[in-house]
Structure 1
Amino acid sequence: MVNNKIGIFDSGVGGTSIWKEIHELLPFEDTIYLADSANAPYGIKTREEIISLSRKNTIKLLELGAKIIVVACNTATTNAILELRKEFEVPFIGIEPAIKPAALKSKTKTIGILATKGTLSSHLFTKTSELYTQGIKVIEVEGNGLVELIEAGKIDSEEMKSLLRQILIPLQEQPLDYLVLGCSHYPYLIPKLRAFFSNAITIIDSGEAVARQTKSILDKLGKLNTNFQQKGECVFYSNNNPAVLEKIINPVKDQFQVKRINF
Structure 2
Amino acid sequence: MLKNKPIGIFDSGVGGTSIWKEIHKQLPFEDTIFLADSKNAPYGDKSSEEITKLSVKNTEALIKLGCKLIVVACNTATTNAIRTLRATYEIPIIGIEPAIKPAALQTKTGSIGILATKGTLSSALFHATSQEFTKDVSVVEIIGEGLVPLIEAGKLDDPKTIGLLKKHLLPMIAAKIDYLVLGCSHYPYLIPQIKNLLPPTVTIIDSGLAVAKQTESILTAHHLLSEKTTKPLLQFYTNAETTTLQFLLKEYASDITIEKKVF
Indicate the TM-score class for this superposition, using the shorter chain for normalisation.
Answer: over 0.9
Q: Distance in 2 between matches of 1:234 and 1:40?
A: 23
Q: 1:232 corresponds to which letter in structure 2?
A: P
Q: 2:195 corresponds to which letter in structure 1?
A: R
Q: 2:158 corresponds to which letter in structure 1?
A: S
Q: Distance in 1 between matches of 2:26 and 2:195?
A: 25
- 8 A contact 2:79–2:125 mirrored in 1: yes
Q: 1:246 corresponds to which letter in structure 2?
A: Q
In the alignment, what sits opposite 1:247?
247
Task: Measure how far apart 1:127 and its partner are.
Answer: 0.2
1:170-185 alignment to 2 at 5 Å?
Answer: 170-185=171-186
- 8 A contact 2:140–2:175 mirrored in 1: no
Q: Distance in 1 between matches of 2:21 and 2:260?
A: 20
In the alignment, what sits opposite 1:160?
161
Percent identity over the alignment is 57
Q: Distance in 2 between matches of 1:250 and 1:57?
A: 24
Q: Distance in 2 between matches of 1:206 and 1:158?
A: 27
Tell me the number of residue pairs that the alignment of Structure 1 and Structure 2 aligns: 262
Per-residue displacement from partner, 1:40-93 (whole Å, max 9, x unpaired)?
Answer: 000000000000000000010011111000000000000000000111111100
Question: What runs of 5+ residues in structure 2 fail to find an aligned partner?
Answer: none
Q: 1:44 corresponds to which letter in structure 2?
A: D
Per-residue displacement from partner, 1:228-257 (whole Å, max 9, x unpaired)?
Answer: 2x1211000000011111111112365000
TM-score by length of 2: 0.98
2:26 equivalent to 1:25 = yes
1:84-233 alignment to 2 at 5 Å?
Answer: 84-228=85-229, 230-233=230-233
- 8 A contact 2:42–2:149 mirrored in 1: yes
Q: Distance in 2 between matches of 1:199 and 1:232?
A: 38
- 8 A contact 2:246–2:253 mirrored in 1: no
- 8 A contact 2:12–2:43 mirrored in 1: yes
In the alignment, what sits opposite 2:14?
13
Q: Which moved more, 1:184-193 or 1:160-169?
A: 160-169
Task: Measure how far apart 1:35 and its partner are.
Answer: 0.2
- 8 A contact 2:188–2:206 mirrored in 1: yes
Task: Measure how far apart 1:142 and its partner are.
Answer: 0.4
Q: Distance in 2 between matches of 1:3 and 1:114?
A: 37
In the alignment, what sits opposite 1:260?
260
Question: What runs of 5+ residues in structure 1 fail to find an aligned partner?
Answer: none
